[in-house]
Chains A and B, each alone.
Chain A
Amino acid sequence: MLVVRSSHKPSATKRTILALIVGVILFVGSNFIDEYRIFQGAQVAAYLVGIVSIVLLTGYSGQITLGQGAFMAVGSYSAALAVQEFGLPIWITFFIAVLAAALFGAIIGISAGRLSGPYLAGATLAFAVGIPALANAVPILGGEQGLSFDIGYAPGKYADTVSPYKWLFWICALCAIIAVVIAVNITSSGLGRQWRAVRAHETAAALCGINPARSKVMAFTVSSGFAGLAGVSFSATVGLVSPSGFTLALSFLLLTGAILGGISHISGALGGAIIVVIIPTVFESWTEEASLGVATYLPGIIVSALLLLSIALAPEGPSEALHKLRRKH
């Protein structure tokens, strides 16, 4: 149980090259796909980063979070405020979002690091409900309408040739690729091994010279930084930062994606993100035949049922389940 499996993954350089290749393929490929699919691609990229942030925290560090949407909100609001109040250029706000959310995560992590299981779940749940409510109450955050967050058009002469959706997709995809590369590097570094050791057995990890409390706070901070990036990408796809964008439903949706893709590996995040984006749209085609109610609620039911089934049948995610099956035969 206590063996932390060592990973024989490609080196950091190889990963970077791989990421560049993926980036080029996406960049070129985006020219051959219709606008709507490109927009969905941007959504997938934003959700992907959010799911990675959950996998880091829950999968690797073993701390459950039901409130990742709250950290996304912190990032998004910081970014939007930076534009509105200080007129900073959009690209800088992405960094601001990451830093603000990470700082916030560190503060929360210091208190959350002492909790576990249902207590942590309850506290983060309260957090997820509380942050949008707070945003609603503070005037500078724009209340129910929220703040606008417009990434605009591609710069210079490309503004006419590159469609806004394509521009959006490029930005979100770039964020996602960078996020995944960093996340994979973290998880295969000493830090990632510390997290997994603490998750597996806190006392044993402490006896090996790891400070479990610091390790947990670190995980919270890093994960929140990713959530901040996810938030700002997500807001870019919506063009708006508002309380209704960061509901409990968003936190649950991301958690669902993380579980369906496999909570214990970064590699599952892409699959998870695609599932949570695709499922609702599959039902959109039904709207004409079925009643409005079915189209509104069926996706939620199916996603929740999938969540329940996957936690019942393969609690550690599909890849772990396959791994176990293979060992059996």
Chain B
Amino acid sequence: MNLINTLIAGVSIGAIYSLIAFALILVWRSTRVVNFAQAGQAAFSTYVGLSFEKAFNNFWLALLAAIIAGVLVGAFVEVVIVRFIVKRATSAATVTVAPVIAMLGLLGIFQGVMGLIWGGEYQAYPTAFSRDGLTINGSQIPFSQNDLFVLLTVVAAMSVAALIFQKTSLGLAMRAAAFAPEVTRLSGIRVSRIRTLGWAFAGGAGGLAGVLVAPTTFIAPNSFDLLLVFGFTAAVIGGLDSLIGGVLGGLALGIGLSVVTGYLGGSYTFMTAFVLLIVVLLIRPQGILGARGARRA
């Protein structure tokens, strides 16, 4: 029973890691950039949500506002900054380093701007559902109404994403552009626009993840840094190219960390994730589900 409890406890946070991994993978597939600024984008979107929450006292309106803010910020970042950086960094020394550093600079700008607008202190974010553990057969389990809401929301979001990717021509173009941008251009598709859309979708996923996790972590300009690292770990576990891999990687990470925390104590959570990241990178660099070995990007 104890083991089952710790497994259950990891599911909803794992779902949030999945969302962040999804966002990172989407951007990686479209642009070959790991968006380290995603932590800032997600926090920014969550703050927008919080402002709506305070103004209208409506959780759902705030959720919608955060997602829309995430979409807009994602598109803005791609059009105004990323496009320019990728075009400029061409030499052997800068082609991989420059985008990473640019994303860090962007993260710094985001965090500073958030501090200016909303201040640096941690703020509580409300939920629409109870965070007390549900009671089954008279015993309480570490899984609340809110956890259920988080899980269902992520499942719904992923289902919508899967439908778009598999069943629409936009999804077809996005998949094609991810793996063969030149062939896609030669098929008459505006790959630059597809790229912007990828960043926009990823931004929306980040905003959603922010609102879902903020009741637990609280919100501050840098409160999602750790979430980013976990999301990156999940993405790497799944293979940076595979959206399904990233989602499964997030769930596996959430559950795995919950088990470790349950048996060893909370202070080992991070070390476990770090060791896991390194082990996966070294032993199976293409990720658990990634097919191709192109890790030396």
Report which A residues bind B (CB closer than 8 A): 1, 58-59, 62, 64, 66, 111, 114-119, 121-123, 125-127, 129-130, 133-134, 136-137, 199-201, 248, 252, 255-256, 259, 263-264, 293-294, 296-298, 300-301, 303-305, 307-308, 311-313, 315-316
Contact = CB atoms under 8 A, between A and B. Distances in A.
B296 A130 contact: no
28 contacts: A1-B91, A66-B36, A114-B282, A115-B296, A116-B96, A117-B296, A117-B297, A118-B100, A119-B297, A121-B36, A122-B232, A125-B232, A133-B267, A133-B271, A137-B268, A252-B104, A296-B115, A300-B115, A301-B109, A301-B112, A304-B112, A307-B105, A308-B102, A311-B85, A311-B101, A311-B105, A312-B88, A316-B91
Contacts of B105: 256, 304-305, 307-308, 311
Given A114-B281, A255-B101, 14 more contacts: A1-B91, A116-B296, A118-B33, A118-B240, A122-B277, A130-B274, A200-B93, A297-B115, A300-B111, A307-B102, A308-B81, A308-B105, A308-B109, A311-B105
A118 B112 contact: no
Secondary structure of the A contact surface, majority rule: helix
A305 B28 contact: no
Interface of B: 28, 33-34, 36, 81, 84-85, 88-89, 91-94, 96-98, 100-102, 104-109, 111-113, 115-116, 119-120, 222, 225-226, 229, 232-233, 236, 240, 267-268, 270-271, 273-274, 277-278, 281-282, 285, 295-297
A295 to B, nearest CB: 10
Given A126-B273, A129-B229, A201 B92 contact: yes
B93 A298 contact: no
Q: Which 6 A-B pairs have the closest CB atoms?
A: A304-B108, A301-B112, A137-B267, A308-B105, A307-B105, A117-B96
A90 B240 CA distance: 46
A115 B281 contact: yes
A121 B225 CA distance: 14
B106 to A, nearest CB: 6
Given A252-B104, A301-B112, A118 B229 contact: no
A111 B278 contact: yes
Contacts of B270: 129-130, 133-134
Given A116-B297, A255-B101, A308-B106, A293 B116 contact: yes
Contacts of B107: 252, 304
Contacts of A307: 101-102, 104-105, 108
Contacts of B81: 308, 312
A152 to B, nearest CB: 33
Given A64-B97, A126-B233, A129-B226, A300 B112 contact: yes
A308 B113 CA distance: 15
Given A115-B281, A122-B236, A126-B229, A298 B112 contact: yes
A311 B225 CA distance: 22
A301 B106 CA distance: 9
